[in-house]
Chain A
C-alpha cells in the first residue's frame, strides 16, 4: 500500500481555497489585534498555518485504511487525554481546555474531532447493512457521547456539539430508518420546546441552561450578540476598510480575532467580502463532498462526509451565531480564527480528504 503519489494528485483547488481563507484570516487577525496585547497573534497564526500544512502532507501519506486500524487506540488515548485535560489542564476564561505541549497549548478536543470522524467511518462501514438499526445506532452514539460529555464538562458546548454533528451526518448516510429520523425530528422540534415552555419551572431551566452552556450568562451573551450585529450591520455593502471598523478597533466586539472574527471581517469588508468568503467555504464543502463521492470504498466516503459535515457545522454555528441567527456558542471559524489547535485540526481534516482522494483509483 506504500505507493508514492504525485503532487499533482492533491486536490489543489481545495487546499488553495484553504490557504486563501487562512490569508484572509491572518489579515483580519492583524487588523483586529492592532494596538492590543494579542498583536503577535497574526505572525503566530502564519506559523500555525505552516505547521498545519506540514501536518496535512504527513497525514495524507499514511493510507487511511491503516489509520482506521488504530481507531481503538486513538479513541482510548483521546478519552484519556480529555480526562487529563479536565483534571490538570490550563484554565482560561473559566474553562479547562488546554494542556501545555512545548511552546503551545494543545486543545485536545480539537483533535478529538478527527478521531470521531475515523471512529464513525469505521463503525458504520463494518455494519455492512443497508439500514442502520437503532440498536447499532445507540451503541455508536454511546461511543461518541463519552468524549462529548467530557468536552461539555470543560465546559465547551460548541466543540462538544461538533462530535454529535459528525455522528448525525454519518448515521444519516448509513441509512438510519426514516421513522427514526422522523421520531428524532419530532422530539427535537415539538416535544422539547413544549416541555421547555410549559413543563419546566424557571429554576429548572436555569439549572439546565447552566449545565449545557455555563458560559452563556457569565459572558453576557446578549451584549456580545448585539455588538456583533452592530459590527456586521455597520459594515454595509463595502465595509469600513482594514483597521477602520470602530466596533472591532474599539473592542466593542468580543474576541474579534477568535470566535467573532467573522463579524470583524464583515465590519471591515462589508457584504461583498462576506459573500466572497462564504463562497469559498461553499466550494470547499462541495469539493469535499465530491471527493467523498469519488472515494474507492465506503469507509473513504464516510471519512470525507464526516469532514464535510464537521466543516458545514462549524460554518453554520459560527457564522450563524455572529449574525444572530442562532444562539451564542463559542466555536472557532475553521482556517480563519486565531489558534493553533483549530488550524491544525482543520488542515489534518483536509489531509484526510486528500488521503482518500489520492487512493481513489482501485487497482
Chain B
C-alpha cells in the first residue's frame, strides 16, 4: 500500500483522468453540522453525569469518602488477671496481633498468594470470604489470630501488594493447662448475636469479648477493661497521616479468688481419671478453697474462637464436660443426709441420743420391707452407732418418727433445696421433697413410704456437692452457715444462723468422728494426729435426673464423702462425689488428701513464720538490722 504521489508535477500528468481538486466544500457542510450536534450531545451527557454524581446525591459519596480515610483503630484495654488467694497468677493475658481482611479492598486473585504467605488453607479461606459475602463491606474478616513473627513480616513487606490486609493488636486469655479450675474460671468469648439482643448486654458493642462462663462471666464488670479508640486519617496504603481524636484504654482490675492453688492441685490430682466433683470450703467464712469438676474442658480452646470440631467433641461427650458438677450435679445424697436427719430428730425432741433401734437387716414400714445395707443387721443401734455404722434401719425408724415435715424443715435450714448463692452463674438448687412439694409439682398426695426413703437420703431428695459441704460446715460450726464465695467482697453476706443445742451438735459430730476413727465406714479418711470427721454416702442413681439423662439405669451408685477437721473447731470442710464410684468409702481418700494437704501447709507456714520471727529477733538482738515483724499470710 502506498500513498498517492506527493509531487505536483506527477499529479498534473494524471489530471485529465480525475476531476480537478475542489476548493469548496459545501458537500461537507451537513456533516460538519452533524459533528456540532454530536458535540453538544456529548457535553450535555457529560454535564448530566456530573450533575448526577455531585448534586443529586451529595451525602452518599461524601460518607464514602469519609469512610475511606477515617478509620477507628481500637486500643485494647487488657482484661484483669485472675489470682489465687496468695496472689499467684491463675489466668493471664498474652498480647498478640490478629490479622483482618478489609473486604472492600479485596481482590479475588490475591487470595491464593495470601493463603500461601500466611500458611492458611486456600479452599477454607475462599469459603470464609464467601460466607461473609452478605455482610456489610466495611466489616473486616478475621483472617488469623496469634500472628507469628513470620506472619507479621509477610504482612509488613507486602503492604503495597495487599492493601486489604491489616493487623490489630489483641489480647488473648491464657488459662491453666489440662482444664485445671476450668469450671470455676470459665472463659471469655465474643458477644453472641443472641446476647446483643438482650437488655443486660446493651452496654457492649458488637465484637466485644466478654466472660461467657464461670468467674469470667460472674465478674465480667470488674475484669473487663475498656477498649480505647484512636480516630485517624489514613491514606490509600493505610499509613496514618494524622490523628483526629483518641480515647485511652482502661485496663480491667485483677481479681483475687479465695482458691488456694496448692489445695486445688492436690484435689485435681486426687480425682484424676474419675468423673465427679470436689468442693473445699472454710466453714468459718465461706471461702471456697478448692472446687473442681471432672471431666473438665480446656478453656484455652475457647480463648480465641473455638473450632467447630472441638465444640462438637465437647458437646457430644456423654460425660458432659461443660457441667460444673460442684454446683450443678443434683444427686441423691444417700447416707450423707443422715447427720441432718439425726439433727432434726434431736432438735425437734423426737428422740434423745440414747434412743435405740434393733436392726435385723431391715424393717417393715407401711406394708413394705426396707432393707439395711448390712444384710445381717447391726443389732441394737443407738444414735452414735447409727451414724458410725450408717445403719439404714435406725434412720428409717427415726425418720418415720420425726416425720417428713420436720425433716424437710431442717433440710431447708442446713441449706438443701435452695441455692447457696455462690458467686458463679447457673447454680442448681436440688430438691427437698415434702407433701407441699408433691402437691405443688406433681398434684399428688405424699406417700408415707417416701419419708422412709428420704430419711436415708434417697427418694426424690437431691443435693449438690457445694450444698453438702456448706451444710456440714454449718452443723460443725454449731449452726452458722456462711455464704460460700470465690471472691472476697467488701460487704460479705450475713451467715444463716440457728441456735442449735451444743449437746445435739456434739452428739452428731461425735458420730461423724466415729465414722472415721472408730472402725466406721470412713476409716480411709484417717489422718494421724488430726481429728477428722466425716460421713460416707452410697447413693442409688436411679432416681437422679443426671442418671436419667445419661441413661445410666444399670450403673453403679454414686460414692460420696464429706469430711471436715478439726472436729470441734473446723477450719476446712470437703465434699467429694465420684460418679458411679460404687461405695462411699472409696472416695474418702480424696477428702483425706485435701485435708492433709491443708494441714501440712498450715504446719509448714507456722514453722516458717516461727523461724522468721526467731531470725528477726536474733538479728534485732545483734542490733545490726532492724527488720519489720514477721510477714506472710496470717
Contacts from A to B (Cβ < 8 Å): 69, 71-72, 75, 123, 125-126, 128-130, 139, 142-143, 169, 172-175, 220, 223, 227, 229-237, 246-247, 250-252, 266, 270-271, 274-275, 278, 281-282, 285-286, 289, 292-293, 295-298, 301, 305, 308-309, 312, 315-316, 319-320, 323-325, 362
The answer to whether residues A250 and B236 also contact, given A233-B54, A298-B23 and a CB cut-off of 8 A, is yes
B53 touches A233 (CB 8 A): yes
Whether a CB of chain A sits under 8 angstroms from the CB of B32 is: yes
Whether a CB of chain A sits under 8 angstroms from the CB of B19 is: yes
A278 touches B46 (CB 8 A): yes
The closest CB in chain A to the CB of B57 belongs to A233
B68 touches A237 (CB 8 A): no
B65 touches A293 (CB 8 A): no
Select one of A139, A143, A252, A298 contacting B68, CB under 8 A: A252
A323 touches B46 (CB 8 A): yes
Select one of A247, A281, A289 contacting B32, CB under 8 A: A289
The answer to whether residues A266 and B4 also contact, given A230-B65, A298-B22, A298-B28 and a CB cut-off of 8 A, is no
Whether a CB of chain A sits under 8 angstroms from the CB of B194 is: no
Select one of B29, B49, B69, B235 contacting A325, CB under 8 A: B49
B contact residues around A72 at 8 Å (CB): 3, 6
| Residues of B in contact with A, size category | 35 or more
Select one of A126, A173, A312 contacting B28, CB under 8 A: A173
The answer to whether residues A172 and B31 also contact, given A220-B107, A298-B25, A319-B46 and a CB cut-off of 8 A, is yes
A contact residues around B235 at 8 Å (CB): 250-252
Whole-angstrom distance from the CB of B240 to the nearest CB of chain A?
Answer: 11
Whole-angstrom distance from the CB of A137 to the nearest CB of chain B?
Answer: 13
Q: Give Cα A296 to B46, complex, Å.
A: 33
A contact residues around B40 at 8 Å (CB): 282
The closest CB in chain A to the CB of B19 belongs to A128
Select one of A69, A123, A270, A324 contacting B4, CB under 8 A: A123
B47 touches A292 (CB 8 A): no
Q: Give Cα A272 to B417, complex, Å.
A: 80
Q: Give Cα A292 to B45, complex, Å.
A: 25
Whole-angstrom distance from the CB of B175 to the nearest CB of chain A?
Answer: 43
A contact residues around B21 at 8 Å (CB): 125-126, 128
Q: Give Cα A227 to B27, complex, Å.
A: 46
The closest CB in chain A to the CB of B4 belongs to A126
The answer to whether residues A234 and B61 also contact, given A172-B31, A271-B51, A274-B50 and a CB cut-off of 8 A, is yes
A contact residues around B236 at 8 Å (CB): 250-252
Q: Give Cα A123 to B50, complex, Å.
A: 39
Select one of A71, A233, A296, A325 contacting B61, CB under 8 A: A233
A301 touches B25 (CB 8 A): yes
B contact residues around A142 at 8 Å (CB): 1
Q: Give Cα A175 to B31, complex, Å.
A: 8
A250 touches B241 (CB 8 A): yes
The answer to whether residues A229 and B61 also contact, given A250-B233, A301-B28 and a CB cut-off of 8 A, is yes
B contact residues around A285 at 8 Å (CB): 39
Whether a CB of chain A sits under 8 angstroms from the CB of B488 is: no
A contact residues around B24 at 8 Å (CB): 298
Q: Give Cα A130 to B49, complex, Å.
A: 38
B35 touches A246 (CB 8 A): no
Whether a CB of chain A sits under 8 angstroms from the CB of B105 is: yes
Q: Give Cα A286 to B42, complex, Å.
A: 13
Whole-angstrom distance from the CB of B295 to the nearest CB of chain A?
Answer: 52
B39 touches A312 (CB 8 A): yes
A contact residues around B36 at 8 Å (CB): 286, 289
Identify whether the interface residues of A are mostly helix, strand, loop, or mixed. Answer: helix
Whether a CB of chain A sits under 8 angstroms from the CB of B58 is: yes
A320 touches B46 (CB 8 A): yes
B54 touches A232 (CB 8 A): yes
CB under 8 Å from chain A, chain B span 41-81: 42-43, 45-47, 49-51, 53-55, 57-58, 60-62, 64-66, 68-69
The answer to whether residues A173 and B31 also contact, given A233-B53, A320-B49, A362-B23 and a CB cut-off of 8 A, is yes
A323 touches B22 (CB 8 A): no
Whether a CB of chain A sits under 8 angstroms from the CB of B529 is: no
Q: Give Cα A305 to B49, complex, Å.
A: 26
Would you list 30 pairs from A and B whose C-beta atoms are within 8 A, ordered by A residue?
Answer: A71-B3, A71-B6, A128-B20, A128-B22, A143-B1, A175-B27, A220-B107, A230-B61, A231-B65, A232-B53, A233-B65, A236-B54, A247-B69, A250-B68, A250-B234, A252-B68, A252-B69, A271-B50, A274-B47, A282-B40, A292-B32, A296-B23, A301-B25, A308-B35, A309-B35, A312-B38, A320-B46, A324-B49, A325-B45, A325-B49
Select one of B1, B32, B39, B60 contacting A173, CB under 8 A: B32
B39 touches A289 (CB 8 A): yes
Q: Give Cα A320 to B29, complex, Å.
A: 28
The answer to whether residues A233 and B62 also contact, given A123-B3, A247-B68, A266-B54 and a CB cut-off of 8 A, is yes
Q: Give Cα A252 to B233, complex, Å.
A: 12
Q: Give Cα A254 to B126, complex, Å.
A: 28
Q: Give Cα A307 to B457, complex, Å.
A: 106
A contact residues around B604 at 8 Å (CB): none
Q: Give Cα A129 to B51, complex, Å.
A: 44
Q: Give Cα A143 to B3, complex, Å.
A: 9
Q: Give Cα A143 to B21, complex, Å.
A: 22
Whole-angstrom distance from the CB of A10 to the nearest CB of chain B?
Answer: 22
The closest CB in chain A to the CB of B29 belongs to A293
Whether a CB of chain A sits under 8 angstroms from the CB of B491 is: no
The closest CB in chain A to the CB of B43 belongs to A282
Select one of A271, A275, A282, A320 contacting B39, CB under 8 A: A282
Whole-angstrom distance from the CB of A14 to the nearest CB of chain B?
Answer: 15
Q: Give Cα A270 to B25, complex, Å.
A: 42
Whole-angstrom distance from the CB of B632 to the nearest CB of chain A?
Answer: 61
Whether a CB of chain A sits under 8 angstroms from the CB of B131 is: no
The closest CB in chain A to the CB of B50 belongs to A274
A contact residues around B34 at 8 Å (CB): 172
Q: Give Cα A320 to B21, complex, Å.
A: 39
Q: Give Cα A275 to B55, complex, Å.
A: 12
A contact residues around B57 at 8 Å (CB): 233
B contact residues around A173 at 8 Å (CB): 28, 31-32, 35
Q: Give Cα A174 to B27, complex, Å.
A: 8
Q: Give Cα A320 to B52, complex, Å.
A: 13
A316 touches B233 (CB 8 A): no
Select one of A129, A139, A236, A324 contacting B58, CB under 8 A: A236
Q: Give Cα A236 to B61, complex, Å.
A: 9
A323 touches B62 (CB 8 A): no
Q: Give Cα A233 to B39, complex, Å.
A: 25
The closest CB in chain B to the CB of A35 belongs to B241
Whether a CB of chain A sits under 8 angstroms from the CB of B494 is: no
B contact residues around A319 at 8 Å (CB): 46
Q: Give Cα A279 to B66, complex, Å.
A: 30
A223 touches B42 (CB 8 A): no
Whole-angstrom distance from the CB of A97 to the nearest CB of chain B?
Answer: 23
Whether a CB of chain A sits under 8 angstroms from the CB of B18 is: yes
A230 touches B23 (CB 8 A): no
Q: Which of B35, B62, B235 has the most CB of A within 10 A?
A: B35
CB under 8 Å from chain A, chain B span 413-453: none
Whole-angstrom distance from the CB of B34 to the nearest CB of chain A?
Answer: 8
Select one of A233, A270, A316 contacting B42, CB under 8 A: A316
Q: Which of A172, A231, A316, A323 has the most CB of B within 10 A?
A: A323
